[in-house]
């Protein structure tokens, strides 16, 4: 990354004025396969009703959806990359491609720094904005989350995130570009009961080879989901989805 790139990002921060304090870019990760976590934003405007990130981070739920870029993140990351080795997971507790990224381009800046430092990285998102950065993803692994196929359900469950078809199109676009990609199906919720085959078929059509399956985290507050009539998928629904996906040739992995 050139210093003019860094100044461009810094200027965005100055214009925006509101930023979240940040003392380090990379933090150790206990997630499988990841050595470090990198989250360019504090908070997430996708606003998923099942989000347990605030609980995980011991952060108040109030204000979580008013996401802020992290102050000085790119300068910190540039300093840190020289002394670490391992895989960096981008978007472990917030979406790195939430709408704010379109202008702030912090995630893009992070990708360029990690790539220049020859570090391995993987990216996890619900947004097709990831396609913008395809030029920086040839050596990365990308996971796109899909929870259901219904626009109505998605608008209620994940109000700030792109609709399911846009995510499926993003998976297809990444596959066609030769990026290593998987679909994260999760959390599996009651609203896919009876639509397990349809969901598996829609995913298989994208050309993706691998599906990670995640169930509702035990730490999730069930009240917001209950308010829209949704609960965790039953074990038999989870099995039906896995069998359907497997019968279509998809490799199934459990997320955790
Ligand atoms: S995209 Fe992830 S981090 Fe963002 S609100 Fe949804 S579950 Fe939480």
Distance 224 CA to ligand 1 centre (A): 14
Residues within a 6 A CB radius of ligand 1 = 44, 46-48, 51, 53, 94-95, 126
Between the CA of residue 150 and those of 11, 20, 159, 169, 239, what are the distances in Å? Answer: 39, 34, 12, 15, 21
Yes or no: say if 70 and 19 are a contact pair by the CB < 8 Å rule: yes
Q: Give residue-wise pLDDT tens across range 8-33.
A: 444 444 444 699 999 999 999 999 99
Are the CB atoms for 195 and 240 separated by under 8 Å? no
User: How many CB atoms are located within 10 Å of the residue 93 CB?
Assistant: 22
Whether residue 6 is predicted with pLDDT greater than 70 in this model: the reply is no
Q: Does the residue 148 lie in any domain?
A: no
Our mutation pick for probing the ligand 1 site, out of 55, 68, 94, counting the most ligand atoms within 8 A of Cβ, is 94
DSSP per-residue string spanning 126-145: S-GGGGGGGGG-TT-EEEEE
Q: What is the pTM of this model?
A: 0.91
Look up residue 163 and give its DSSP letter.
P
What atom in ligand 1 is closest to the CA of residue 44? Answer: 4
The Å distance, Cα 125 to ligand 1 centre, comes to: 9
Residue 224 lies in a domain: no
What is the span of the domain harbouring residue 30?
1-125
Q: Is residue 112 in some structural domain? A: yes
pLDDT of residue 60: 85
Residue 182's closest CA among 112, 252, 121, 86?
252
Place of tokens 């989901």: 225
In a domain, 50, yes or no: yes
Model confidence pLDDT, tens digit, residues 180-203? 999 999 999 999 999 999 999 999
Within a domain: 34: yes
Angle among Cα 67, 111, 147 to the nearest 5 degrees reads: 55
Quick check: is 103 in a domain? yes
If one residue of 47, 53, 147, 160 were mutated to test the ligand 1 pocket, choosing by the most ligand atoms within 8 A of its CB, it would be 53
Number of domains in the chain: 1
Q: Is residue 26 part of a domain?
A: yes
Q: How confident is the model at residue 57 (pLDDT cuts 50, 70, 90)?
A: confident
Residue 178 lies in a domain: no
């Amino acid at each position: 990354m050139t210093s003019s790139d860094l100044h461009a990002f810094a200027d965005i921060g100055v214009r925006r004025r509101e930023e979240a304090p940040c003392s380090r870019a990379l933090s150790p990760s206990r997630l499988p396969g990841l050595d470090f976590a990198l989250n360019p934003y504090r908070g997430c405007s996708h606003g998923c009703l099942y989000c347990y990130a605030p609980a995980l981070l011991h952060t108040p739920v109030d204000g979580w959806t008013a996401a802020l870029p992290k102050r000085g993140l790119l300068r910190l990351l540039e300093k840190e990359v020289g002394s670490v080795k391992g895989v960096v997971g981008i978007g472990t507790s917030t979406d790195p491609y939430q709408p704010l990224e379109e202008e702030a381009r912090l995630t893009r800046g992070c990708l360029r720094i990690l790539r220049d430092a020859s570090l391995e990285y993987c990216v996890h998102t619900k947004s097709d904005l990831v396609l913008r950065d395809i030029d920086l993803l040839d050596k990365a692994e990308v996971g796109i989350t899909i929870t259901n196929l219904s626009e109505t359900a998605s608008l209620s469950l994940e109000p700030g995130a792109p609709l399911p078809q846009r995510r499926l199109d993003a998976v297809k676009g990444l596959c066609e570009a030769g990026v290593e990609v998987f679909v994260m199906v999760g959390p599996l919720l009651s609203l896919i009961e009876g639509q397990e085959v349809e969901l598996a078929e829609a995913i298989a059509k994208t050309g993706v080879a691998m599906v990670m399956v995640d169930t509702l985290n035990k730490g999730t507050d069930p009240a917001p989901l209950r308010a829209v009539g949704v609960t965790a998928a039953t074990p038999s629904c989870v099995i039906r989805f896995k069998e359907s996906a497997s019968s279509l040739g998809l490799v199934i992995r459990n997320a955790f």
